[in-house]
Structure 1
Amino acid sequence: MARVYATSAQYQAYTGDIPPADIAVRLGRASKFLDSQVFRLCGYEVDEDGMPTNALVLAAFADACCAQVEWGVDVGDVTGAAAAGWGTVTIGSATLSRSVTATSGDAAPGRQIAPAVWDALRSPDLTPDVLYVGLVVT
């Protein structure tokens, strides 16, 4: 079963906004995305379901998920598909071009890690004994 690190109420408290109707889906996607891109590279204690056991780590993961969802809303790409395949974009007098065949969904803004995710994980309260970011184990 997929882990979901934040609730609708936590999203509302984090952003100050009323959550969209599909907030559970968005938080689930953000949790899965951050699991694969960030959390799997961190060291922390977990329970039998794989959830962090430390309250500070759990709160940081919830904030990180809320930040990721908010980022998708802010950049206008909640699924990570908005920028996939664009060839030429013009904004005012600026024009950007790239090969349509050389792009992937990973280049989309919604597939980028929100800067506020790192803010949540770099809290001074998250000492290396409860969360180690960048852990590599062989």
Structure 2
Amino acid sequence: MARVYATPDQLAAYTGQPAPADAARLLSRASRFLDERVLKACLYATDDDGMPTAPELRDAFREAVCIQVGWWDEVGDSTGAAGAGWGSVTLGPVTLGRSVTDVSPDASPARMLAPEAWDLLRTLPPDVIRWEVIW
């Protein structure tokens, strides 16, 4: 079973707003995203379910997935599909553009780790998590 680092109630407590109707799905996706994009390159103690045993890691992972869900809300997309395939878009007086050499869904801001989540994770103490280089 996939690890999910936050609940809809924890998301609501973090944001101070009611959790969206699809909060469980978004938190599950954000947890998988965090595992795939960041945590697979880390060593840390886990319990039998693969959850971190250190309280500061549990707290940081919970906050990081809440931040990621908030980031997706800000960019208006949780999958990258909305930004796939366009080089520039004009809506009235607003023009949005990005490199036409990379218009894949992975180039979308929705497929990036939220900068605030990355900032949080980089501050974790080295005695509870070790960053490994993987190629």
Do both proteins adopt the same fold according to a TM-score greater than 0.5, normalized to the shorter chain? yes
Query: Which residue identity is paired with 2:6?
Result: A
Task: Give 1:25-40 correspondences, 5 Å limit.
Answer: 25-40=25-40
Partner of 2:129: 131
Offset at 1:36? 0.3
Distance 1:93 1:130, change over 3 A: closer
* Structure 1 unmatched ranges of 5 or more: none
SS in 2 for 1:82: helix
Give % identity: 51
Offset at 1:42? 1.6
Separation in structure 2 between the aligned mates of residue 46 and residue 59 of structure 1, nearest angstrom: 14
Offset at 1:98? 4.4
Partner of 1:16: 16
Separation in structure 1 between the aligned mates of residue 67 and residue 26 of structure 2, nearest angstrom: 11
Partner of 1:69: 69
Query: Which deviates the most, 88-97 or 2-11?
Result: 88-97
Q: CA RMSD in A?
A: 2.1
1:113 maps to 2:113: yes
* Structure 2 unmatched ranges of 5 or more: none
Offset at 1:79? 2.2
Partner of 2:97: 96
Deviations 1:70-115, CA, capped at 9 Å, x for gaps:
0000111122211001132236375636438x42110112111101
Contact 2:45/2:53 (<8 A) preserved: yes
Separation in structure 1 between the aligned mates of residue 99 and residue 125 of structure 2, nearest angstrom: 42
Contact 1:61/1:120 (<8 A) preserved: no
Aligned residue-pair number: 134
Distance 1:97 1:121, change over 3 A: closer
SS in 1 for 2:81: coil
4+ residue runs over 6 A deviation = none
Offset at 1:131? 1.7
Distance 1:94 1:105, change over 3 A: closer
Q: TM-score, normalised by structure 2?
A: 0.88
